Amino acid sequence: MHSYSTIQAIYSYVTKNREDGKRVGFVPTMGALHKGHLSLVQRAKKENDLVICSIFVNPTQFNEKSDLENYPSDFNRDKELLLSVDCDAVFFPSVNEMYPDEIKTEGTELGEIAVTMEGANRPGHFEGVVTIVRKLFKAVPADASYFGEKDYQQLAVIKHLVKSEQIPVKIVGCPIIREENGLAMSSRNERLSQMGKKKASLIYDQLKWIREHYFELSVSELIQAVEMSFDEHDEFNLEYLSIADENTLQPFEDRRTSNHPRAFIAVWLEGVRLIDNIGLQE
Ligand code: PAF
């Protein structure tokens, strides 16, 4: 597996391969890789001739300093994992490489999809994501780029970016990979205790419960019932639960408003913020 840490080196590698007729897939990550990331690499491997994974913990997308400081990282382990799925190259730039002048976001119009849920609860987060993803797409001009649906709203924001700035890359959304107990895989899960990981199954259980009862109860009844379940478990702190249209990302009250409903949740457990979502017509 090739390793590159400068934009110039990765850019030359990608453009040379594309000139040789190779189709290139790209998986941007912040490291602390897990099976969810590896599934993106595997999908990209199937659909392309070669695959590049980037590992960069992007400072501008953390709206809380402590979250950035506590973000797990183990580059050697990540490299081993990438080798195990036959990744062709890893791009791991320094902060100075990606932000040579100032560590700041670059203005962008994110659209209404970025205003709700994660956008409302993590001010500046999507501005940071878009800033780095735009830079990464310039450094790695791939044919297709792969993102997990766990960060469903992020995926929508990135699709919006690519469309509005006419970036020539295909964005592919990939299904959430879960632990056996249903907990959505996330780098942040590493910060949970064994007990926390067990208890966190409540999140997916509640999402499934919403899906099961979606056509029987009103949206507000569904939300109230789930809020009550979390209230009964002191260790959880529910940040938001929204039932929203998966295209507009706007929450709605009346089921008839949306043909593509999805439930979205953000919960705190043991000081760790966990997000998840589920399609309600699956
Ligand atoms: O989903 C992530 O890991 C990050 O938000 C991304 C897309 C790599 C940008 O830093």
Query: pLDDT per residue over 162-176, tens digit each?
Result: 999 999 999 999 999
Q: Pick the atom of ligand 1 nearest to 133's CA.
A: 9
Domain 187-277 in the same topology as domain 2-174: no
Which pLDDT score, from 0 to 100, does residue 198 have?
98
Give me the residues of the chain with pLDDT under 50, please: none
Nearest atom (ligand 1) to Cα of 187: 3
Cβ(45)–Cβ(174) under 8 Å? no
pLDDT at 50: 98
pLDDT of residue 109: 86
Start-end of H helices in the chain: 7-19, 35-47, 65-69, 75-84, 95-98, 118-121, 125-139, 152-164, 194-199, 201-213, 219-231
Give the pLDDT score at 38.
98
201 to 179, 184, 189: CA distances (angstroms)? 9, 9, 12
- Ligand 1 atom with minimal separation from the 151 CA: 1
Is the entire prediction scored with pTM above 0.75? yes
One of 37, 160, 233, 260 is an active-site residue; which one?
37
- For ligand 1, atom 9: residue with the closest CA: 129
Coil, strand or helix: which one is 233?
coil
> What residue owns the CA closest to ligand 1's atom 2?
29
Q: Which atom of ligand 1 is nearest to the CA of 56?
A: 10
Which residues are CB-contacts of 231 (< 8 A; sequence separation ≥ 6)? Answer: none
64 Cα: distance to centroid of ligand 1 (angstroms): 16
Closest residue (by CA) to atom 6 of ligand 1? Answer: 29
Q: Which class for 69: exposed (0-12), middle (13-18), buried (19 or more C-beta within 10 A)?
A: exposed
How is residue 89 written in tokens? 């190259």
Q: What is the dihedral of CA 19, 14, 48, 142, to 10 degrees?
A: -100
pLDDT confidence of residue 131: 98
Q: Do 249 and 113 touch, CB atoms closer than 8 A?
A: yes
Angle at CA 61, nearest 5°, toward 177 and 108? 110
Ligand 1 center from residue 29 Cα (angstroms): 5
Given this model, what pLDDT does residue 72 score?
87
pLDDT of the residue at 187: 94
Strand 89-91 versus strand 144-148 pairing type: unpaired
**Partners of 193 in the beta sheet?**
none
Q: How far is the CA of 108 from the centre of ligand 1 (A)?
A: 17
Q: Which of 34, 78, 129 to mutate to test the pocket of ligand 1 (most atoms within 8 A of CB)?
A: 129
Q: Does domain 2-174 have CATH number 3.40.50.620?
A: yes
Domain ranges of the chain: 2-174, 187-277
Atom of ligand 1 nearest to the CA of 29: 8
Other beta carbons within 10 angstroms of residue 134's beta carbon come to 17
What is the distance in A from the centroid of ligand 1 to the CA of 129? 6
Q: What is the pLDDT of residue 122?
A: 96
CA of 220 to the centre of ligand 1 (A): 32
CATH 3.30.1300.10 fits 187-277, yes or no: yes
Among this protein's residues, is 37 annotated catalytic?
yes
Lining residues, ligand 1, CB within 6 Å: 28-30, 58, 61, 129, 132-133, 151, 154
Interval between CA 30 and ligand 1 midpoint (Å): 6
Chain centroid to CA 204: 17
